[in-house]
């Protein structure tokens, strides 16, 4: 059982948004857009208080989108991949392989109490049958349905008819509509317990306050995860039950053996009562113990950890070691992959916190491995380590629209392949092929594109160094930083289009800078022409064809006629340029063949700025990059 999608209405940053989830889902976006709100919505849905700084069962005015309390808050979760046991336990709400549950909070007298309701995907024609309380009523309705649905078999029993109509609904999903139950989901508290039997939500916030929370206390994220790991190794259930029965039996024998003492007391009290009150009064005292209340809890595992000679509880160690412990625990769970336990749904905020880059990379791999087993992971992150080319379909970029409503952007491989075919005129690639090509293109520097406000895509490090150094050298750095622009190399012109399409799907404003390669060899002209035409078409520059006649700066792209260095230094005296290159080479240790070396180009551009060179073509491009026209 796992979460397929979550629909949120009128909750904090979300006015009306539906977000689909995979086994591993990365939530990215700039600060304040609503990533944490999505996890908070799931805390409200599951009634999960640990790590939540606000009440998840009684919402306040500030929990409503822009304080619009006249409309209720709704958080609807659709579950799929239900086990046979889950389908049986939740059969009143399961249709096909889906379970839909909604929590709703209506503002009244300063508070909005959370209530939970189940929904079904049903055919309207069948609703009256399923709602009929008696078999006789069901039979009458079923017979009437046979006139509209002649394929239905003859009535034999209410159970058989119910199975028949369920099968018909599953075979015709296009005819189904969602219908919410009028009553709370199994009485809410019972429903929550039924859900927890099959799916377990654990929330790990960005910061755990060790000063105010004992991490080994009941129902915290740490103890829940530790409990799953321990229970996978040992199950006390049967042993505890046998111990309870044996102890209760001995306890009752002990009471029986001491009944004589109570008999003497009963006789004495009865005599006194008869003397002082009613001569016919009787008194009988016996030992009593309710077997249902005789409990023996399973043992709880308590962890101590330490460093440099100190050992103590997790609450008394630093955040770094706490997170390292979490990584170790998650890795242990990933190796266990117990299919017989409830599905773990882990919501974790900023998993990269307090981790050195190698540890962050390792945690990203651990989370991926965890999601490959009996777990689902939702990670709200600001780190490129938690994004990979193979997982782009499971990346959700959270943004805000003009009305300040949060919404989600995603990219699908099928859509990217079709869009590439539109621009290149070639047959769409199967998703596996494009997925593989994206993965080789999507190096860590490129995944940075998901965390930028505005994106400039270039072919390689050479272009990135020249543009960035000149932006800073010419005084445009403040405008560059203010707009949140990132210049990202894609390892060659061949990777530009795919990355453009990915950025386009994620609604990232994108500007291209690339070499036109008009001076390429005859054997490469067709390939370069194809690359150029696809990029021209993407940028809407339909007047350009094959190769640019000169350097060109358009609305969404800039192209150097031949290559960046040839265009940038046009107009600079040959001796002056040679002098600057010699000086830059000396600053790099005098190493030869440094034409595209990033350090050499950085020094060369710094020298150009110091000598106040006029680089018109470069100025035109950097000015365009730093303005608001794209």
Residues 80, 2: Cα–Cα separation, whole Å: 6
Specify whether the CB–CB gap between 495 and 441 falls below 8 A: yes
Which two tokens mark 499? 């990355």
pLDDT value for 213: 42
Residue 509's CB: how many other CB atoms inside 10 A? 17
- Cα–Cα nearest to 14, from 78, 81, 66: 66
In this predicted structure, the answer to whether residue 152 has a pLDDT above a threshold of 60 is yes
Specify whether the CB–CB gap between 188 and 118 falls below 8 A: no
Residues 179, 100: Cα–Cα separation, whole Å: 10
Pairwise pLDDT comparison (44 vs 391), residue with the higher score: 44
Lowest-pLDDT range of 186-190, 193-197, 211-215, 580-584: 211-215
In this predicted structure, the answer to whether residue 439 has a pLDDT above a threshold of 90 is no
Q: Is 487 exposed, middle or buried (0-12, 13-18, 19+ CB in 10 A)?
A: buried
Lowest-pLDDT range of 160-174, 242-256, 297-311: 297-311
Residue 600's CB: how many other CB atoms inside 10 A? 21
Pairwise pLDDT comparison (228 vs 428), residue with the higher score: 228
1-24+34-123+176-236+320-385: CATH topology is Rossmann fold (3.40.50)
Lowest-pLDDT range of 49-63, 88-102, 115-129, 425-439: 425-439
Instruction: Give SS3 for 457.
Output: strand
Residues 194, 203: Cα–Cα separation, whole Å: 19
Question: Positive or negative CA dihedral for 221, 227, 228, 229?
Answer: positive
> What's the mean pLDDT in 115-130?
87
List helix spans (H) across 300-403: 319-336, 357-371
pTM for the predicted model, two decimal places: 0.81
Q: Give residue-wise pLDDT tens across range 330-361.
A: 767 766 656 667 888 999 999 998 888 888 88
Strands 24-28 and 395-400: parallel
pLDDT value for 183: 62
Q: Give residue-wise pLDDT tens across range 160-201.
A: 998 899 888 888 888 888 888 766 776 545 556 678 889 989
pLDDT value for 211: 40
In this predicted structure, the answer to whether residue 391 has a pLDDT above a threshold of 60 is yes
Q: Give residue-wise pLDDT tens across range 590-628.
A: 777 777 889 999 999 999 999 999 999 999 999 999 999
Q: Give residue-wise pLDDT tens across range 474-485.
A: 999 999 999 999
Mean pLDDT, the chain, as a whole number? Answer: 86
pLDDT value for 323: 75
In this predicted structure, the answer to whether residue 215 has a pLDDT above a threshold of 50 is no
List helix spans (H) across 425-494: 431-441, 444-447, 461-473, 477-482
Q: Which of 130-139, 291-300, 303-312, 538-547 has the highest mean pLDDT?
A: 538-547
Q: Give residue-wise pLDDT tens across range 485-509.
A: 999 999 889 989 989 999 999 999 9
Position 214 confidence tier, pLDDT thresholds 50, 70, 90: very low
- Compute the C-alpha angle 225/227/232, nearest 5°: 105
In this predicted structure, the answer to whether residue 277 has a pLDDT above a threshold of 80 is no
Pairwise pLDDT comparison (41 vs 183), residue with the higher score: 41
pLDDT value for 428: 65
pLDDT value for 28: 94
Distance of CA 98 to CAs 4, 36, 119, 122, Å?
9, 26, 10, 11
């Amino acid at each position: 059982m796992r979460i397929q999608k979550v629909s949120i209405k009128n909750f904090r940053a979300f006015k009306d948004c539906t977000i689909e989830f995979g086994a591993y889902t990365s939530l990215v976006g700039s600060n304040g857009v609503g990533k944490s709100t999505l996890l908070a919505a799931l805390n409200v849905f599951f009634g999960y208080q640990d790590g939540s700084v606000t009440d998840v069962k009684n919402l306040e005015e500030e929990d409503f989108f822009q304080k619009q309390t006249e409309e209720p808050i709704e958080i609807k979760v659709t579950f799929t991949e239900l086990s046979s046991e889950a389908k049986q336990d939740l059969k009143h709400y399961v249709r096909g392989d889906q379970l839909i549950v909604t929590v709703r909070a209506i503002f009244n007298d300063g508070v909005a109490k959370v209530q939970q309701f189940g929904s079904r995907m049903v055919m309207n024609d069948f609703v009256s049958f399923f709602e009929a309380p008696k078999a006789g009523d069901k039979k009458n309705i079923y017979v009437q349905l046979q006139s509209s649905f002649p394929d239905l078999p003859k009535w034999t029993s209410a159970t058989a008819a119910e199975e028949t109509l369920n099968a018909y609904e599953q075979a015709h999903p296009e005819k189904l509509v969602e219908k919410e139950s009028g009553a709370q989901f199994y009485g809410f508290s019972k429903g929550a317990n039924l859900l927890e039997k099959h799916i377990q939500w654990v929330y790990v916030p960005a910061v755990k306050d060790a000063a105010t929370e004992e991490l080994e206390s009941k129902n915290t994220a740490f103890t829940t995860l530790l409990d799953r790991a321990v229970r996978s190794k040992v199950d006390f259930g049967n042993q505890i039950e046998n111990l309870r029965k044996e102890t209760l039996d001995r306890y009752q024998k002990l009471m029986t053996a001491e009944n004589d003492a109570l008999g003497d007391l009963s006789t004495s009290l009865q005599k006194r009562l008869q003397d002082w009150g009613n001569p016919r009064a009787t008194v009988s005292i016996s030992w009593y113990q309710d077997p249902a209340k005789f409990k023996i809890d399973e043992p709880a595992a308590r962890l101590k950890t330490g460093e440099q000679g100190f050992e103590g509880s997790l609450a008394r160690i630093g955040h770094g070691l706490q997170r390292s412990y979490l990584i170790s625990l998650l890795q242990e769970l990933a190796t266990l992959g117990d299919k017989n336990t409830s599905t773990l749904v882990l919501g974790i905020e900023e998993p990269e916190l307090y981790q050195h880059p190698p540890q962050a990379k390792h945690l990203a791999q651990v989370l991926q491995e965890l999601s490959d087993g009996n777990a689902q992971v939702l990670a709200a992150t600001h780190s490129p380590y938690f994004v990979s080319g193979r997982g782009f379909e499971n990346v959700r970029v959270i943004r805000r629209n003009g009305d300040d409503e949060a919404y989600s952007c995603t990219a699908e491989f099928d859509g990217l392949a079709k869009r590439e075919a539109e621009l290149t005129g070639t047959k769409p690639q199967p998703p596996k092929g494009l997925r593989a090509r994206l993965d080789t293109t999507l190096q860590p520097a490129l995944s940075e594109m998901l965390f930028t406000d505005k994106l400039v895509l270039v072919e390689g490090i050479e272009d990135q160094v020249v543009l960035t150094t000149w932006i800073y050298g010419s005084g445009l750095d403040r405008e560059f930083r203010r707009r949140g622009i990132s210049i990202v190399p894609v390892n060659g012109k061949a990777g530009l289009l795919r990355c453009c399409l990915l950025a386009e799907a994620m609604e990232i404003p994108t500007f291209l800078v690339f070499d036109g390669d008009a001076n390429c060899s005859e054997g490469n002209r067709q390939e370069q022409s194809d690359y150029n035409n696809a990029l021209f078409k993407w940028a809407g520059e339909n007047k350009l064809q094959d190769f640019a006649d000169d350097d060109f700066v358009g609305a969404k792209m800039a192209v150097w006629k031949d290559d960046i260095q040839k265009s940038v230094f046009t107009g600079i005296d040959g001796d002056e340029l040679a002098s600057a290159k010699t000086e830059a080479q000396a600053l790099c240790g005098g190493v030869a063949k440094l034409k595209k070396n990033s350090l050499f180009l950085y020094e060369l551009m710094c020298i150009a700025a110091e000598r106040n060179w006029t680089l018109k073509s470069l100025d035109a491009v950097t000015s365009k990059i730093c303005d608001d026209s794209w």
